[in-house]
Amino acid sequence: MTSQNNLKKSIQKILVFQQNGRGESKIHGIIKYGKNLFDLQIISINQPLPPVIDDSIQYLPHDINADLVLDYLAHPDLSHDLGVMCVNKKIPVIATGKKPQVKGVFTPPT
């Protein structure tokens, strides 16, 4: 029973934000190679968006509960607001292929 408790504790919650399927290949890789190591949740935004988003509350959740956030959003306003939310909650966020917009957001090259 202890090994089951340890396994449950070691499962990391990964929250993926994607826009128009931009994270699908990464999501499939996490599922395929991560097996049962991750609790994967996906938030997809597929509707057309305005050029400027002043209030991202209608697109992003009010609260984020995750060990890691992956940002595959195309809209810079959403990525910025998501980054701020995660940094404030001390949740690591990786936004690949983007220019750093928020201090504390990891932006490795793709």
108 within some domain? no
5 within some domain? no
| Secondary structure element (H or E) that encloses residue 94, with its range | strand 93-94
Residue 31 vs residue 100, higher pLDDT: 31
82 within some domain? yes
**pLDDT tens digits, residue range 46-105?**
999 999 999 999 999 999 999 999 999 999 999 999 999 999 999 999 997 776 678 888
Angle formed at CA 77 by CA 27 and CA 55, multiple of 5 degrees: 110
Is residue 56 a contact partner of residue 43, using CB atoms and an 8 Å limit?
Answer: no
63 within some domain? yes
Domain containing residue 20: CATH number:
3.40.50.720
CA distance 53 to 10: 37
Domain extent, residue 48, equals: 11-94
pTM: 0.85
- Count of the separate structural domains present in the chain: 1
Range in 4-18, 21-35, 46-60 the model is least confident about: 4-18
> Structure tokens of 108?
């490795």
60 within some domain? yes
> 């195309």: which residue's tokens?
74
56 within some domain? yes
Long-range contacts made by residues 37-40, C-beta under 8 angstroms, separation at least 24?
A: 37/10, 37/11, 37/12, 38/11, 38/12, 38/13, 38/14, 39/11, 39/12, 39/13, 39/14, 40/14, 40/16
21 within some domain? yes
109 within some domain? no
